[in-house]
Amino acid sequence: MISVRNLIFLLFVELVASIKHRVNLSKVERKIYGARNVPLNLVPDHDYIGRVSIGDPPQFFHVAFDINLGNVWVPDIECECTARCSLKFLCKSLCKAHCCEKKKIGSNSNQSIAILPTNAARDGILIPVCDKRSKYNKEISKTYLQDDREWKIRYVDGKASGKLAIDSLRLGDALNFSQTTIGLATSFPDGYKDVLYDGVFGLSRESAIEYDGLESPIGQAIRQGILDEPMITLWLDGSGKVGNTEPTGMITFGGMDSNHCGFISEYLPALGNDWKIMLKRVRIDNVISSRDWTVELDMSYPYIGGPRSALYGLAETIRASYDHFQDVYYIDCNAEFSLMLTFEQKEYPVSSKQLIYKDKRNKQGECVLAFQNYYNLQVDWRIGSPFLREYCVTLNFDGKVGISFPYQFGG
């Protein structure tokens, strides 16, 4: 039998060991961040956004995460437009081009109104794209370092450009850089005036800005040993609902998302230095289209985009119709089917609930089928949120993309 004295001694030893264990964990945590989760919120324009801080004291920005970009950019304070820019006849001669944007606001502009000044909801008003956005101000950051090299990133609808800067960057508890290179934007693509975020956080393997020694933030995190493992895991909530109080997605840096994702069922080789992969076959029922296609994954793309010849045949199988004038596929709202995708060996179904959504513009009561004829010289297919809401995707910086099934919660 253990005496009271011995029992007290054992309890004391256990308490000391427990305290020491916690201290050691704290030290490890400061040296390496490990697998950390960053919650995402889905906004009405299909972007998944999170919040970052730059500089000291921190300046906060809402950023959209982009799998296919390897840089971080936010609006610079210099993109602000002064009162003289509201004078239409002088704007182009006195102000930057983005200050002279004109936007016609109609009856279906709820998304735009959310980010525009309240007095701008009239036809022909000049809408400075930087209004109501968070902008980086180097003058108030004690950690700012001058770079001043010019940069530009091309998009389908234009380019973002400006000058580079070096400053601290923090993404929740996941990433904390004392110094990293950031793009300060003063020029923006056309679509920027409609989006609901300030800047972009790239998750690609390499920088899209071609300067010697300039690396992507994730590449920098791996080189500096900030992450336990050289990987990122993406999970998007299958409901696809906007405005949930709970996060509608999660990015896990440095490992798997053990809260939402199961074991990886298949690793796919990444092509080149980004996250493009191969697609071998698409199928609905007995209608099959097969070829060695290249694929680009895109969180903010609400469609399955591919060659018209392949999509048209698949759409016919499920009695969907194609509107040539609107370039839209329509389908019965109650249709049930699965789109089957084969990348390597395994077949991955995408259910009809992810591929059908209502469209108020359609007077016949039909729904939109999330197929989009896609034309791109570099990739054949662009696979967006309908697939990514069904599966977890792990971007491994050793050059492979893993696919896993998410855990199913509730009924």
Q: How far is CA 276 from the centre of its chain?
A: 15
| Strands across the sheet containing 356-358 | 321-323, 328-331, 367-369, 356-358
Q: What percent of the chain has pLDDT over 90?
A: 59
Residue 178 has pLDDT above 90, yes or no: yes
Average pLDDT estimate for 187-212 = 90
Query: CA angle, corner 103, sides to 100 and 104, nearest 5?
Result: 150
What is the mean predicted confidence (pLDDT) over 157-165?
92
* Tokens matching residue 272: 């080149």
Per-residue CA distances from 181 to 117, 140, 167 (Å) = 31, 17, 7
Judging by beta carbons within 10 Å of its beta carbon (0-12, 13-18, 19+), is residue 137 exposed, middle or buried?
Answer: middle
Sign of CA dihedral 130, 135, 138, 144: negative
Q: What domains does the chain contain, in order, with CATH numbers?
A: 33-78+135-253 (2.40.70.10), 266-404 (2.40.70.10)
- % of the chain with per-residue pLDDT over 70: 79
- The predicted pLDDT at position 112 comes to 22
The predicted-structure confidence for 270-291, as pLDDT tens digits, reads as follows: 998 889 999 999 999 999 999 9
Lowest pLDDT segment from 41-45, 122-126, 173-177: 122-126
Residues 253, 225 contacting (CB under 8 angstroms): no
3-state secondary structure of 359: coil
Distance of alpha carbon 238 from its chain centroid, rounded? 16
Mean pLDDT score of the chain: 82
Side chain identity at residue 161, one-letter code: S
Q: Are 262 and 391 in contact (CB under 8 A)?
A: no
pLDDT digits (tens, 9 = 90+) for 85-133: 767 777 777 776 667 765 443 333 222 222 222 223 233 445 567 878 9
Instruction: Indicate if the pLDDT at residue 366 is higher than 70.
Output: yes
pTM: 0.80
Query: For the segment 320-361, what is each residue's pLDDT rounded down to a tens digit?
Result: 999 999 899 999 999 999 999 999 999 999 999 999 998 876
82 pLDDT tier (thresholds 50, 70, 90)? low
C-alpha distances in Å from residue 108, one per residue of 38, 328, 359, 361: 32, 18, 12, 10
